[in-house]
Structure 1
């Protein structure tokens, strides 16, 4: 396993057999998202997008919490409209970069995921938390509607549930987050890493080419009309059929052989 840090250890990257773990590393601040943290995340996501050896990304937080949202102290130090517009645009680019990565991204959540921290969870493709984790978009408590987190949240849970969280600042527990579709699973704390490992192992066993075709298609088609989505998906599936992985996999199925293994680089 290789590891390195960026932006003065604000973000720690670990590489292990095709899985990259990005660990936010401000535990005393509950991994509050500073400008430097956003910059470090953007740099790593850009590098990962260009690295075909990466098969899966895990986004994690050091210490007792996953992420408590934006660094409010830093935000209040520069109270100008231009600064806030630039900050939230920078944050939005990071969130979109998570979705634009050609590989699955899994949020590893413990403690709390609030405001932009909840936005991070909703922006990942998959999410697994401890069964004691809690989630909220609680900016309204300090007079700030969580507008940018609402974009990701409302694309994960129903509009009425999202709006309820946004206007009441209510926390939901891990079981509710599973039920509402914000996360995939909640497990005891001592099983969190093994649950993440099980999920990444299943992903690594699949065709990287097919996953790259599929992730991009999955999000693009959601913004299309039904007819356009089918036309686009049909073209993607046809192109996927032309890939060697699909040919080998289908031939193995027809010949009743085990499917080919897809080992990470």
Structure 2
């Protein structure tokens, strides 16, 4: 996609309904490669969503034939100075951290291909649902650029030997293998992808937004702690959670055999 096309076409599309924000990477001719412009647009929307109490779940998808092919290599080669490349990788790293730190759960809706930084996006998302035909990979080694930053997210999603095979060979894996490795939750026929993602997003959106925010933050924080420290930390989280109005409402609704009415407090 040319510079002119990028200025004429929104790089990111957003549509909200029923507490679900759907963000669509919109560079289909470039397989939604993560140009600086696209990353900036996605970062801006994530920052806005983080403050939007009306959004309970985020779905991240790609327009066209594939989810995301990684960084925009043409853009990367257009500048040879290290300062520009530092800017690109810093923007990407900040984007991935923002997804992890976002109060709302993020579901990656994946089709076609998810390679390099696109595979990193899938690994970074809290949940991922793909089509059965989707292929995943970290093929940087094939072009002389080891997928070092994608490795951070992917190595935290799948076991060491499997991720090293992906990184060292650059070979693609299919959706069934991605499930076995733990990279994605499930894969469905392409015709069923929309419904599968909508069903998952709807289930999550029906929960207390306060509980979703509390639980997601605690999940990622405790992962980095030693076992005893993790138990001490999550015990404090549960004590605080028990004081919330939504916890009282949820427990009372369970005892009274009725549907809870969440307030987000």
Pairwise TM-score range, normalised by the shorter structure? over 0.9
Matched with 1:93 is: 94
Deviations 1:190-235 (A, max 9, x none): 0000000100111011111111110000000101111111111011
Deviations 1:58-86 (A, max 9, x none): 00000010000100000001111121112
Matched with 2:52 is: 51
Contact kept? 1:204, 1:263, Cα under 8 Å: no
Contact kept? 1:61, 1:109, Cα under 8 Å: yes
Deviations 1:155-181 (A, max 9, x none): 000011111100100111001111111
Matched with 1:115 is: 116
Matched with 1:127 is: 128
SS in 1 for 2:178: helix
SS in 1 for 2:136: strand
Q: Distance in 2 between matches of 1:185 and 1:141?
A: 28
Deviations 1:112-150 (A, max 9, x none): 000000000001000000000000000000011000000
**Structure 1: which 4+ aligned runs deviate by more than 3 Å?**
261-264
Moved more, 11-20 or 244-253: 244-253
Contact kept? 2:249, 2:262, Cα under 8 Å: no
Q: Distance in 1 between matches of 2:23 and 2:208?
A: 23
Q: Distance in 1 between matches of 2:252 and 2:51?
A: 31
Matched with 1:186 is: 187
1:253: how far off? 2.1
Matched with 1:3 is: none
1:254: how far off? 2.5
1:18-33 equivalences under 5 Å are: 18-33=19-34
Give the alignment's TM-score, normalised by structure 2: 0.95
Q: Distance in 2 between matches of 1:58 and 1:125?
A: 10
Matched with 2:258 is: 258
Gaps of 5+ in 1: 1-5
Contact kept? 1:205, 1:261, Cα under 8 Å: no
Report the RMSD for the aligned CA atoms in angstroms. Answer: 1.4
1:188 to 1:70, Cα distance in 2 relative to 1, 3 A: same
1:259: how far off? 3.3
1:262: how far off? 4.4
Gaps of 5+ in 2: 1-5
Q: Distance in 1 between matches of 2:171 and 2:162?
A: 11
Q: Distance in 2 between matches of 1:249 and 1:45?
A: 29
The alignment of Structure 1 onto Structure 2 pairs a total of residues equal to 258
Q: Distance in 2 between matches of 1:187 and 1:254?
A: 36
Give the alignment's TM-score, normalised by structure 1: 0.95
